[in-house]
Each structure stands twice: as structure tokens, then as C-alpha cells.
């Protein structure tokens, strides 16, 4: 039996051929090393994300998340739900808080769930993968598996919004969370604690609907990483990753910049540091290639 087991809520962007499929690949490799077993919630659905607000309404939004709770309870009783996506985690966790605090909302939710033949008896805990790593495993345990430290790589820890606010990781400040910096240090790379854009918004869904507004923010985020001499940026959020990575070309056109900085998931760094191959870490999934990591991943591991 694995050391830790969870009901897994990968979310839409992590699916095959979707924008964060590389995230999923690297999380799977990372969990293998750490002996964490993730069992996908059967037939899970979208969380609705915050951007669905124009039509979501309150109850439909919560019912959507409650369906996942019900499925988890039914198929994976007693397991906590773990999400890798910031929006999935936030949406599910918000539903959990609201239903816990309102009997009416809970009753209405149960009534709607009935239509899908489902019910909720107990509220599950909803965790982000980062919480699992920090709280259930701890930095010491994570560090034990490092066999190929990412020496000489300088990485800006970009936490972004939704893994940080309004809930955040316990013990971290909203204005200056430090866990990503600690993770960077843990894999043997150099962190940039003074990186001032670490909690700046990437623009979220506005990157699609109003690109000029979002790209103004992304420019700040990338520029500051360059100013601090970063080789790459690391983030725990799929939308942050996508927005900060894939629009660099457009920003270069718009602002005359020469941005070309890789944006990684923490899980990718860990997989390489844990001795995984470029494929295990899904480095091929980068639009802006992470050459430094590819080089390190090509080196033999001293075990």
C-alpha cells in the first residue's frame, strides 16, 4: 500500500491534449517517487471555474462541485480530494465552505444532486497538491529523494493568485508566500525571495477575452523575473503557467521586448531533481523549451 492515498481531481486542463497535460505527466512521475497514490474520481466534471460567473449563478456552481464530492464519497470513501489545478481547488473548496455554513444551500444542493442519482453525506476535505506535499509529506521528506540537484539554476517562484487567495496555504502570507522559494531551494536551485511579482495576477481569463489587459500584467511578471536574473519561472497553477508562457511572443510584439523564459511547474523541477527523464518531467510539453533542465535531465544520476 502507498504511504499516502487521495481521491484525485485532475481538472479539465490536465486532460490528454489539453493545455496543462504536461502538469499531469510530471505530477504522476513525482507521486511515484514520493509513494503517493492518486485515484482519479470516476466521471468527475468541471468545477465551473471563477470565470463562469455570468451564467453560473450560486447554486448551479456549487452543485457542479458537489457532484464531484458525491462521486468521491461513493467510489473512494474516506479519502481526501486532491486537486492540482488552482481553480479546481478554489472552486471545490469554496463550495465546501459555503455548503458547510448554510443549511439551505446544503438542502438545495442535495435536492439538485438527486436528479443525477447522487447524494452527499459527509463533506470531504479538499486539498491542493502543494498542501499535500508541504503538510502531509514535508520538506524533509521531499528533499530525501533529490538525487540530481538543479545546481546553478536561478528560479523565480511565481505563486500567482488562486493557490494563494482567498484560502492559500496554511501559515503563508497573502502578500509574500515563501513556500515556492523553499521548494526551489529544496531541489537544489537558487531561489529569488525578493521577486516582487510573485503574487501578481496573470490576468486569468482576461488573457482570452481582453488580451491587452492581461498581457500588461504578464509583462510585469516576466520582466521582474529577468530583472532578478532568473533562468526560469516556476508556478503551481495551470492558468498562470499557460498565460505567462504562451503569450511571451505576443508581448514581444506589443512591447518590443525579447522575452523567452521557460515557465515550469514545481512538479517538473522535482521530477528532474528526483532523477527522472525529460519525458517523465514532460519537458517536451514546454512551448518555450527549458534547455537548462533538459541538460540536467540528460545527465546520469549518481545513486
Which residues would be at the binding site for another protein (CB under 8 A)?
12-13, 15-22, 43-46, 48-60, 63-64, 67, 108-109, 111-118, 161-162, 165-166, 174, 199-201, 203-206, 208-210, 213-214, 216-217, 242, 246-247, 249-250, 284-287
Quick one: cell of 179? Answer: 513556500
Distance CA 150, CA 214 (A): 31
If the CB atoms of residues 112 and 146 are measured against another protein, the closer one turns out to be 112
If the CB atoms of residues 109 and 191 are measured against another protein, the closer one turns out to be 109
Q: Which residues contact 201 (CB under 8 A, 6 or more apart)?
A: 160, 161, 217
If the CB atoms of residues 111 and 151 are measured against another protein, the closer one turns out to be 111
Q: How far is the CB of 25 from another protein (least distance, A)?
A: 10
Q: How far is the CB of 250 from another protein (least distance, A)?
A: 7
Q: How far is the CB of 226 from another protein (least distance, A)?
A: 20
Q: Calculate helix-pair angle for 86-101, 103-114, nearest 10 degrees.
A: 110
Q: How far from each other are the two terminal CA atoms of the chain, in whole angstroms?
A: 25
Distance CA 227, CA 124 (A): 43
Distance CA 255, CA 201 (A): 19
Answer whether the bond into residue 166 is a cis peptide, omega within 30°.
yes
Residue in 90, 98, 80 with CA at minimum distance from that of residue 38: 80
Residue in 294, 265, 298 with CA at minimum distance from that of residue 184: 265
Q: How far is the CB of 158 from another protein (least distance, A)?
A: 13
If the CB atoms of residues 262 and 275 are measured against another protein, the closer one turns out to be 262
Exposure class string for 192-213: b at 16+ Cβ within 10 A, else e: beebebbbbbbbbbbbeeebee
Q: How far is the CB of 30 from another protein (least distance, A)?
A: 19
Q: How far is the CB of 242 from another protein (least distance, A)?
A: 8
Quick one: cell of 203? Answer: 490576468
If the CB atoms of residues 174 and 295 are measured against another protein, the closer one turns out to be 174
If the CB atoms of residues 210 and 227 are measured against another protein, the closer one turns out to be 210
Amino acid at each position: 500500500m502507498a504511504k499516502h492515498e487521495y481521491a484525485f481531481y485532475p481538472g479539465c486542463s490536465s486532460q490528454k491534449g489539453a493545455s496543462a497535460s504536461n502538469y499531469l505527466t510530471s505530477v504522476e512521475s513525482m507521486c511515484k517517487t514520493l509513494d503517493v497514490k492518486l485515484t482519479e474520481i470516476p466521471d468527475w466534471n468541471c468545477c465551473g471555474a471563477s470565470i463562469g460567473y455570468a451564467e453560473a449563478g450560486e447554486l448551479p456552481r456549487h452543485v457542479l462541485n458537489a457532484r464531484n464530492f458525491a462521486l468521491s464519497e461513493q467510489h473512494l470513501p474516506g479519502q481526501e480530494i486532491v486537486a492540482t489545478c488552482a481553480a479546481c481547488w478554489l472552486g471545490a473548496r469554496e463550495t465546501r465552505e459555503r455548503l458547510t455554513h448554510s443549511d439551505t444551500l446544503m438542502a438545495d444542493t442535495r435536492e439538485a444532486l438527486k436528479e443525477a442519482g447522487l447524494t452527499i453525506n459527509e463533506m470531504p476535505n479538499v486539498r491542493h497538491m502543494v498542501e499535500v506535499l508541504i503538510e502531509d509529506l514535508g520538506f524533509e521528506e521531499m528533499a530525501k529523494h533529490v538525487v540530481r540537484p538543479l545546481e546553478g539554476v536561478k528560479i523565480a517562484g511565481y505563486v500567482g493568485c488562486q493557490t494563494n487567495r482567498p484560502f492559500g496555504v496554511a501559515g503563508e502570507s497573502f502578500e509574500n508566500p515563501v513556500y515556492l522559494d523553499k521548494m526551489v531551494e529544496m531541489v537544489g536551485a537558487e531561489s529569488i525571495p525578493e521577486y516582487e511579482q510573485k503574487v501578481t495576477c496573470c490576468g486569468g481569463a482576461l488573457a482570452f477575452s481582453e488580451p491587452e489587459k492581461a498581457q500588461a500584467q504578464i509583462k510585469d511578471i516576466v520582466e521582474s523575473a529577468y530583472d532578478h536574473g532568473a533562468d526560469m519561472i516556476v508556478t503551481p497553477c495551470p492558468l498562470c503557467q499557460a498565460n505567462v508562457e504562451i503569450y511571451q511572443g505576443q508581448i514581444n510584439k506589443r512591447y518590443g521586448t525579447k522575452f523567452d523564459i521557460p515557465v515550469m511547474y514545481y512538479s517538473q523541477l522535482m521530477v528532474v531533481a528526483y532523477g527522472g527523464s525529460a519525458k517523465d518531467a514532460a519537458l517536451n510539453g514546454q512551448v518555450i523549451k527549458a534547455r537548462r533542465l533538459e541538460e540536467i535531465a540528460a545527465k546520469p544520476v549518481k545513486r
